[in-house]
């Protein structure tokens, strides 16, 4: 079979976090050593700035680049993240914590699982994940997930960061490794008769050609959608939040405020969506993600400012969100990443993770992709299937936050009635009816973006159950439950307490 012509130049369209993640990752990968890498970005387009939190996957990405955690975190005003606190999602003032799970949590987590199964079958009181996971205890006591002594296993944590500064940091990294940056506006895109991107035409008339293109142009998706016409699959009727209003609050450096600093994200349910609060070292990021069908922009701004105790005259920033996914992330000679590829509201901070997943999958397939036409087609199919599966798995989990809520406002009633997948329907039905939930998790294992601890944290945290149900189940003893909670507390005291305490 005829060998394809080798790819000699790749152009990334769009900077921001996604574009510069791509540039940094490719520049660091020996497979791309002989390929010219170029990134084109406009200085007239700002970054979206919605995602300033991460899952634990980001640590692996930065470690693979050989970047010191202390170095990048300091420049990006980053703080550690132990998980997410969900506040008032049932309208009853209650809250629960979605923790990051690691190996030392295995035994106490099992006690939590048993108690949660007892509760949904009509036995015992409501049980929340907070006290059964070390990260939940860390959040409660305001402690960093970085241990003060060596742990017997690797712990899991995420980050909060300034997305603009992270993009700048990765830009410096990539440019030092040979990536060429061009600041210009792309006014036209030319394609071949075979629907391959050939040339980007800049505002100054310059024409940039390449063999392969990465579309990191944000919601505009200039290459994957506008130039190649790949359809966009909207989730607007399944995830109602299509807008956001944001306002940062500077961090106060006095000792009282320092004591109140947090190492976790807060997600507080409001009348037509939810409020994020993300603690950075220099500011507290606040944003209200809401449905414009249920709330006007001005009313959303007013509710946001009231929620964070700021005067109504405070300047805010409005954002429109395009929720959904490209039918194909990789089509012909274009790979879409970031917002050009997909966007699901930042409730579980998955945007950066999706970009990272796509890049890592692409890099693992790239050498095979260049072999021949058959390998080229198979590589694209493999990546597209993997990306779509992950996006739909994330969508299921995000939807579960809404369809299990008991809030009574019009928005929440509508959010409960949206169409959900057969997979999510079966999972929720099994939990609600007291059936074998773990068996279903096992059967869907390869399709789920979130696994057992996360599903249990959400469904038990929301106390989602049939209050009339009473099925046989042997609850665990109060003594064992107390021992599990004590174990997590002792673990935190042993490995994570500040040295001065």
pLDDT tens figures, 378-421: 999 999 999 999 999 999 999 999 999 999 999 999 999 999 99
Q: Is the pLDDT of residue 465 over 50?
A: yes
pLDDT reported for residue 1: 42
Q: Is the pLDDT of residue 50 over 80?
A: no
pLDDT reported for residue 283: 87
**Percent helix, percent strand, percent coil in the chain, to nearest 5:** 40, 20, 40
Average of pLDDT values for 318-340?
97
Burial class of residue 153 (count of CB atoms within 10 Å of its CB; 0-12, 13-18, 19+):
exposed
pLDDT reported for residue 437: 97
Dist CA 328 CA 385 (whole Å):
8
Q: Is the pLDDT of residue 425 over 80?
A: yes
Q: Which pLDDT tens digit goes with each residue over 100-111?
A: 998 899 999 999
pLDDT reported for residue 262: 81
pLDDT reported for residue 47: 58
pLDDT reported for residue 258: 41
pLDDT reported for residue 375: 92
pLDDT reported for residue 55: 92
Tell me if 238 sits within 8 A of 325, measured CB to CB: no
pLDDT reported for residue 36: 98
Q: Is the pLDDT of residue 46 over 80?
A: no
Q: Partners of 250 in the beta sheet?
A: 283
Q: What b/e string do you get for 461-497 counting C-beta neighbours within 10 Å, with b at 16 or more? A: bbbbbeeeeeeeeeebeeeebeebbebbbebbeebbe
pLDDT reported for residue 498: 66
Average of pLDDT values for 294-300?
98
Model-level pTM? Answer: 0.94
Least confident of 221-225, 364-368, 493-497: 493-497
pLDDT reported for residue 348: 92
Q: Is the pLDDT of residue 229 over 60?
A: yes
pLDDT reported for residue 501: 39
Neighbours of 120 (CB within 10 A): 25
Q: Is the pLDDT of residue 257 over 90?
A: no
Dihedral sign (CA 447, 83, 270, 96): positive
């Amino acid at each position: 079979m005829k060998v394809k012509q080798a790819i000699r130049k790749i152009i990334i369209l769009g900077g921001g976090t996604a574009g510069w993640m791509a540039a940094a990752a490719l520049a660091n990968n020996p497979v791309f050593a002989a390929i010219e890498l170029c990134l084109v970005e406009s200085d007239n387009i700002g970054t979206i700035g919605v995602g300033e939190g991460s899952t634990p996957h980001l640590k692996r990405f930065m470690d693979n680049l050989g970047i010191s955690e202390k170095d990048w975190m300091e420049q990006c005003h980053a703080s550690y993240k132990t998980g997410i606190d969900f506040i008032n999602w049932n309208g009853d003032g209650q809250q629960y914590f979605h923790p990051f799970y690691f190996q030392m949590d295995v035994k106490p987590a099992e006690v939590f699982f048993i108690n949660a199964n007892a509760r949904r079958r009509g036995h015992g009181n409501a049980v929340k994940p907070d006290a059964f996971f070390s990260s939940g205890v860390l959040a409660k006591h305001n402690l960093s997930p970085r241990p003060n002594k060596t742990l017997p296993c690797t712990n899991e944590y995420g980050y909060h960061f300034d997305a603009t500064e992270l993009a700048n940091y990765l830009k410096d990294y990539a440019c030092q490794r040979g990536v060429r940056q061009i600041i210009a506006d792309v006014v036209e895109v030319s394609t071949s008769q075979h629907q391959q991107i050939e040339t980007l035409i800049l505002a100054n008339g310059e024409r940039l050609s390449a063999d392969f293109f990465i579309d990191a142009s944000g919601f505009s998706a200039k290459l994957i959608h506008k130039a190649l016409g790949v359809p966009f699959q909207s989730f607007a009727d399944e995830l109602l939040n299509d807008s956001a209003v944001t306002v940062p609050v500077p961090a106060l450096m006095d000792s009282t405020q320092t004591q109140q600093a947090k190492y976790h994200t807060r997600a507080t349910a409001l009348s037509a969506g939810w409020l994020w609060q993300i603690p950075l070292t220099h500011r507290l990021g606040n944003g209200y993600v809401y449905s414009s069908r249920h709330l006007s922009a001005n009313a959303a701004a007013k509710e946001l400012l009231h929620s964070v105790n700021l005067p109504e005259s405070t300047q805010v920033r409005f954002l429109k969100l395009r929720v959904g996914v490209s039918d194909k992330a990789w089509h012909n000679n274009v790979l879409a990443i970031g917002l050009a590829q997909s966007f699901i509201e930042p409730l579980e901070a998955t945007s950066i993770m999706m970009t990272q997943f796509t890049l890592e999958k692409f890099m693992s397939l790239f050498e095979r992709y260049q072999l021949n036409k058959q390998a080229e087609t198979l590589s694209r199919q493999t990546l597209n299937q993997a990306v779509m599966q992950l996006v739909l798995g994330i969508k299921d989990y995000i939807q579960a936050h809404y369809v299990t809520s008991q809030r009574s406002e019009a928005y929440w009633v509508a959010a409960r009635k949206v169409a959900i997948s057969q997979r999510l329907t079966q999972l929720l039905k099994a939990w609600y009816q007291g059936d074998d939930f773990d068996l279903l998790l096992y059967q869907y294992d390869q399709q789920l973006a979130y696994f057992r601890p996360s599903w249990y944290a959400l469904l038990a945290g929301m106390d989602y159950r049939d209050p009339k149900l009473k099925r046989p189940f042997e609850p665990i003893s109060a003594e064992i439950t107390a021992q599990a909670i004590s174990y997590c507390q002792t673990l935190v005291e042993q490995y994570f307490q500040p040295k001065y305490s």
